[in-house]
Amino acid sequence: MKVEHLKHLYWRAGFGVTPSILEHYKNATKSQVVSDLFKASETTEPLKIDLSEFKGFKTLSFKENPKLIKELAQKSRKRLMDFNIAWVNRLNTSDAVLRERMTLFWANHFVCGEKNVVYAQQYNNMLREYALGNFRDFVKAMSKEAAMIKYLNLRQNVKAQPNENFARELMELFTLGPGHYTENDIKESARAFTGYFNMLDGTFRLRRFQHDYGQKTFMGRTGNFNGDDIIDIILENRQCAKFICEKVYRYFVNEIIDKNRVESMVEVFFEDYDISRLMQYVFTQDWFYDNDNIGNKIKSPIDYLVGLSRTVPFILKNEKAVIKLQKLLGQTLLDPPNVAGWKGHKAWIDANTIMVRLKLPSVLLNGGMIALDDEKDEMRRQFFKRNKSKLPIKTLANWDKFQNEYKKISIEDLDSVLINGQLNKGTLTYLKSLYKDSKQKYCIQLMSLPEYQMC
């Protein structure tokens, strides 16, 4: 498998590549590499933090002590930050990169903003569990999650007065896309999901006295449908497979849809809605590795931060600073902008975020000092040494691990590993002009290029 193809696969299916991976698979076939990626992600390891302080409460406790709700809400906000940090750490270190990549993908599909950390953790692990599973089972599990029930007002969806929020988003954002259902389909679907509720601990419960057991007419079918029945009917529509395949294509392949390639994906996916089979198909197709698809995607803020850390591991002296970094770059995990999620691609970059991105490698990996080649280097070095304590983000970079990983890669070849895609002529000229006396410094210079923003 070609080096550029390995890099492309590992940036799309994971969070970057290393020299050891390139060396290990230098004589491997495409199917072997893809097979190993899936094997490493076969099992699901739930991501959990200690939430024991939230256990044992009953509804009566809140009625007896109204202040308890406020106290738990404050604790929950703090623990949500802890879970955010734990998620980033998992992305930085997990060998199951494909499952974690897919979890991140689905988190921006089945979008849910939740302030209750117990529900948020449960929801995040549901995404992780089904990330490479069966889409039909996935949608049904999602509809019964406490976080989604709360987020899209399913608690308020009762027989006497159906709430249509979930029914609308189920079709518009999660399965079919706009224009493939009627207003009456929304109304009848909402009736099928009446009575959906969750217990205080997050377990699902159907409130039977609030559920509408009457006949519903949905997408030309009539029957005593419940929520699962509605999902089954939706998935019988080929448009559902097409909608998901288009979204997968935009995220993993190219923002510009190729109708023939998407149609070939639909043929695979519509048969049984097996997510794993769909992704194996995509990653083994020759067209996935076309030059037009390599280095054409702007890294999301999370991709960018995780990619930096997987290349040069670093520790933030204040671990909560990782949340500040996410906010600076425009993507805070567990806090989506709305039910449609982040737009992605070109929306990741504006005049402010591009400047932050270009400077961040020096801040995180070089004590805030920009790695340049000129006569003022020593003066700059002394300045930052004196003012290091004033830097907003303090880190400890593990350059020893980087040097060990990249020991067989010459300074001149460093860009062949770190940059995915082609360097433009101006950048090539700039790089040739640099005095390459330090692999560490050159790494930071490469990470500070506009091309490093692409994958």
pLDDT tens digit string along 278-325?
A: 999 999 999 999 999 999 999 999 999 999 999 999 999 999 999 999
pLDDT of res. 373: 45
- Over 60: is that where the pLDDT of 212 sits? yes
If asked whether residues 275 and 361 sit together in one domain, one would say no
If asked whether residues 306 and 388 sit together in one domain, one would say yes
Q: Report how far residue 405's alpha carbon sits from residue 422's, in angstroms, rounded to the nearest whole number.
A: 23
Domain end residue (candidates: 256, 277, 293):
293
* 225 falls within a domain: no
If asked whether residues 306 and 449 sit together in one domain, one would say yes
Q: In residues, how long is the chain?
A: 455
pTM for the model: 0.94
Cα separations (Å) of 398 from 89, 315, 320, 343, 440?
15, 8, 19, 33, 11
If asked whether residues 305 and 448 sit together in one domain, one would say yes
If asked whether residues 256 and 387 sit together in one domain, one would say no
Q: What residues have CB less than 8 Å from 265, skipping those under 6 apart?
A: 245, 248, 249, 278, 281, 282
Identify whether the C-beta of residue 91 lies closer than 8 Å to the C-beta of residue 302. yes
Q: What residues have CB less than 8 Å from 187, skipping those under 6 apart?
A: 162, 164, 167
Domain end residue (candidates: 293, 315, 336):
293
* 8 falls within a domain: yes
If asked whether residues 442 and 306 sit together in one domain, one would say yes
If asked whether residues 287 and 389 sit together in one domain, one would say no
pLDDT of res. 376: 43
If asked whether residues 282 and 305 sit together in one domain, one would say no
Mean pLDDT over 170-175 rounds to 98
* 371 falls within a domain: yes
Burial category of 382 from C-beta neighbours within 10 Å (exposed 0-12, middle 13-18, buried 19 and up): exposed
DSSP summary character for residue 178? T
Identify whether the C-beta of residue 282 lies closer than 8 Å to the C-beta of residue 252. yes
* 335 falls within a domain: yes
* 217 falls within a domain: no
If asked whether residues 284 and 334 sit together in one domain, one would say no
Mean pLDDT over 50-58 rounds to 87
CA angle 23, 24, 25 (to 5 degrees): 95
pLDDT band per the 50, 70, 90 thresholds, residue 68 = confident
63-67, 101-105, 409-413: range with lowest mean pLDDT: 63-67
Mean pLDDT over 351-373 rounds to 80
Mean pLDDT over 266-289 rounds to 98
* 49 falls within a domain: no
pLDDT of res. 372: 46
Identify whether the C-beta of residue 445 lies closer than 8 Å to the C-beta of residue 434. yes
If asked whether residues 448 and 306 sit together in one domain, one would say yes
If asked whether residues 260 and 323 sit together in one domain, one would say no
What kind and span of H or E run contains 204?
strand 204-206
Domain that holds residue 371: 301-453
If asked whether residues 287 and 305 sit together in one domain, one would say no
Domain end residue (candidates: 293, 318, 341):
293
- Bridge partners for 454 per DSSP: 298
| Percentage of residues in the chain having pLDDT higher than 90 | 88
* 386 falls within a domain: yes
* 105 falls within a domain: no
Q: Domain count of the chain? A: 2
